[in-house]
Structure 1
Amino acid sequence: MEQRNLHAWLETPLGQYVLQMEQDMLDQAVANLFGFNALQISWPHLDGLRTNRIPHHISLSTRLGGTIQAEPCALPLASQSLDLVVMPHALEFAEHPHALLREVDRVMRPEGRLVVVGFNPRSLWGVRQLFTLNRRVSPWSGHFISLSRLKDWLALLGFEMDGGRFGAYAPPFTSARWLHRFRFMELAGDRWWGVGGGIYLLQAVKRVHAMRLIMPRWQPQNVVEPSLAAAVRSAGVRRQGVQPEAHDNVVPLLPRPKAVPVSPQS
């Protein structure tokens, strides 16, 4: 039922406005990301990987229409096998968004890239959702996740933020005429109201910190060695006829043996 509502909403002028905005944002975000395997989760109406040059593209959907059909929280993929994961509105319509993020973290390689697209609840779109009476109609039936909360979730999994942007600053009018009148807000929004866009795109990198072996710091033993300098000073004192004090730590020098004359053999 929800999929049919979403498909019908995407055919409206407001849905087409969102699709075009998000397609442009994704085209720019993934164009220069490289690797071997890329995955898109949710929203098959978008081709979030069309400008990406990774050789193997996979699209996942709970219904027919994707490369594979499976539940997003149980991906049929090997661990650490993906270099790029694109998630347009997957978290907002997932029953367990935390479990979905943990599953994505499992299948991503170290230094892999994650791109998340979502509706911004701190915008005019969030106000529209707040005053919508019928919450079973898409997209207002989704659970809008704020950007700050999403950053906290990703940080707990070891992801590092790597940029993002906002879009769809125009009010969510259902009329194409009124949407066209407020198109000027797209240019003014980035400059005067940067965090007030109706949708956001966030990029993150999976960081895996390597272990470092800490060796014990051995304390050097204090070895007492005889002081040759003291011995030299002692010898100099004896040549001057002065006896060293008893408490001086000196090493006495042995007397040189006398030469013994040897008589020639008869």
Structure 2
Amino acid sequence: MSSEIIGLTDWLKTPPGAYLLGWERTHFDEAVSDVFGYHALQLGLPELDALQANRMPHKWLALESPLPPVAPAPADGATAAPAASSRRAALLTDSGALPFPESSLDLVVLPHTLELSRDPHATLREVSRVLVPEGRVVISGLNPTSLWGLRQRRGHLYQRWGYDSLFLPKTGEFIGYWRLRDWLRLLDFEVESGRFGCYRPALTSQAWLDRFEWMDAAGERWWPIFGAVYFLAAVKRVRGVRLLEPAWKTRKAPAAAPAAVANKEPAARSRPPA
């Protein structure tokens, strides 16, 4: 990997980046399609529309810094360089201080947001604050205990010797799957589902990635926790709060059952003739 690939945005344009982005797009669509409510927020990664399959009326994309301007198309008809993303952020904000009232959002998605955040603990606390009781958070992150993570650690070792051979982006701190589950549990989140994906080796060539396509099916069966990326969905639990479902149908009051008379004196028994 050349030294030019220094950030996640540039790395996603490479063959392994596109491979990971395609896997995440599929699973974000599955995770958010059946989450209902009114307000949803995606924090970070404009290259992926993680709320595309969600049907909430109000959806926002929040970023910590503005995107670079999109280059105009050349006048002579030549092909322009691809832009980083055509999506525009609805707001610019610090992930540790979201401009939303407490308990105001129904869904928050964090695609690689925590590993790129300056303070992932503060980001998770803010997500817990703005989510309504029973609200959902969906998170994806790079798995340090994978073939990709192993090559990244080896690349850091080579950097000490003067070689630049990192495979994954240089920025960010990768958070382990089980470590993240512990963080969520401390914030009263209950993990509903979790899985791993992208089991192909850490290769930069599209041709070689295609040759190892069989490892995706084999990895899910034989070594599921060693996928290059993890994906989990959690729900915010609040003690003493019970979600009330709307009464779609008016129920008729049950007919009163006839009451039995318990204090009525029993009828006098007929005596036999003397």
Q: Confirm or deny: 8 A CA contact 1:129 1:140 kept in the other structure.
A: no
Alpha-carbon spacing, 1:171–1:137, altered in 2? closer, same or farther (3 Å): closer
What are the equivalent positions in structure 2 for 1:126-165 lying under 5 Å apart?
126-132=149-155, 133=159, 134=164, 139-165=169-195
Look up the equivalent residue of 2:42 and give its one-letter code: Q
Other-structure match for 1:76: 99
Counterpart secondary structure, 1:162: strand
Which residue identity is paired with 1:157? L
Alignment partner, residue 17 of structure 2: 15
1:198 is the counterpart of 2:221: no
Which ranges of structure 2 fall in alignment gaps of 5 or more residues? Answer: 67-87, 242-274
Does the 8 Å contact 2:62/2:92 carry over to 1? yes
- 1:11-49 CA-to-partner distances (Å, cap 9, x unmatched) read 111111111111011111111111110000111100000
Matches within 5 A, 1:1-266: 5-64=7-66, 65-132=88-155, 133=159, 134=164, 139-210=169-240
Q: Which gives a bigger RCO, structure 1 or 2 (Cα 8 Å, sep 6+)?
A: 2
Which residue type is aligned with residue 32 of structure 1? D
Relative distance call for 1:137 and 1:75 in structure 2 (3 A) is: farther
Could you tell me which runs of 5 or more consecutive residues in structure 1 were left unpaired when the two chains were aligned: 212-266
Q: Matched residues in 2 for 1:72 and 1:58: separation?
A: 14
SS in 2 for 1:92: helix
Q: Secondary structure at the match of 2:52?
A: coil
Aligned CA distance change for structure 1 residues 44 and 178 (closer, same or farther; 3 Å): same
RMSD of the TM alignment (CA)? 1.9
Structure 1 CA distance for aligned equivalents of residues 166 and 172 of structure 2: 9
1:123-149 CA-to-partner distances (Å, cap 9, x unmatched) read 111102101235988524321111110
1:52 alignment partner, SS class: coil
Flag the 1:4–1:58 CA change in 2: closer, same or farther, 3 A: farther
Count of paired positions = 210
Letter in 2 for 1:182: F
* Cα distance change of structure 1 residues 184 and 136 upon mapping to structure 2, 3 Å threshold: closer
Name the larger-Rg structure. Answer: 1
- One-letter code of the match for 1:71? D
Cα deviation, 1:145-187, whole Å, max 9, x if unaligned, reads 1111001100000001101211101012111011001111111
Question: Does the 8 A contact of 1:135 with 1:141 survive in 2?
Answer: no
Find the aligned partners of 1:46 and 1:91 in 2 and give their Cα distance.
15
Q: Counterpart of 1:236? A: none
Residues 35 and 54 of structure 1 are in contact (CA less than 8 Å); yes or no, is this contact kept in structure 2?
A: yes
1:126–1:137: structure 2 CA closer, same or farther, 3 Å change rule?
closer
Distance 1:144 1:74, change over 3 A: same
Q: Give identity over the alignment, percent.
A: 48
